[in-house]
Amino acid sequence: MHISSELRRRFADAQRVLVLTGAGVSAESGVPTFRGGGQTAVWKGMPFDVISSAAMVERDLPAVWEWFDYRRDFMGAIKPNAAHEEIARWQDRFAEFTLVTQNIDGLHQQAGSRDVIELHGNIWRARCTVCRSNHDNSAERARPDACLECGNQLRPDVVLFGEMLPRGAFEFAAERASQCELCFVVGTSGLVYPAAGIPELAKSAGAYVVEVNPERTPLSDLCDETITGKAGEVLPLFSQ
């Protein structure tokens, strides 16, 4: 596992850098991935794409909350790892730096990253199912029972299968992708769209695209380089 001299040169010279992260960047913090390692995450006999879906919010919101409360409990105790910390160091290194994450765990922000584009929402917020107002759902406090504005039911403020991404988030990420010179794709299986389309946008606009993942993914062939390894071991090599 090493960083090629070509990539070191590009990293040193780049002005505009974009990083797209997925569940794998938090794996070394102890957050289970959805699909890594040949496993499919299952909750009480339901595959996660069933429980984490718009249809399930309609059908059984208490079950959705049970699944998210369970994850809030263990995510409350975890800490950013060397990959989050390295990415946080990059933000002041380049003239324009964009961090786009599919993760809902808030670990990038905890590591010090600012202006993180969260494509799939954040587990530490709840949202009203009717008026859409946001509510703090952080680990330190009990989950609010109902919307404080209108009294209706709350749901996790995350993007489930079959739901639209937060307004403008993908569009902004796509614009930055089409302007960047260097694009890192870290710890994502590249299966979930529209997030998985970001590296392709960067590539079509002429960026050098680098994947960091212990396994090959459907994005590997598109990338100019794939570095096979764990994010927490590979990324800190850039500061050495």
Positions touching ligand BJW (CB under 6 A) are 22-24, 27-28, 33-36, 52, 102, 104, 120, 158-164, 187-189, 191-194, 212-215, 217, 230-231
Nearer to ligand BJW, 9 or 132 (CB): 132
The one catalytic residue in 2, 84, 120, 135 is 120
Is 135 designated active site? no
Nearer to ligand BJW, 16 or 194 (CB): 194
Q: State the nearest-atom distance from the C-beta of 74 to ligand BJW, in Å.
A: 13
Q: State the nearest-atom distance from the C-beta of 6 to ligand BJW, in Å.
A: 21
29 and 108 in contact (C-beta within 8 Å)? no
Q: State the nearest-atom distance from the C-beta of 57 to ligand BJW, in Å.
A: 11
Beta strands in the chain (DSSP E): 16-21, 42-43, 46-47, 96-101, 117-118, 121-128, 134-136, 154-158, 182-186, 208-213, 225-228
Residue keyed to tokens 């969260």: 118
Nearer to ligand BJW, 107 or 212 (CB): 212
Q: State the nearest-atom distance from the C-beta of 36 to ligand BJW, in Å.
A: 3
Nearer to ligand BJW, 97 or 184 (CB): 184
What are the catalytic residues?
120
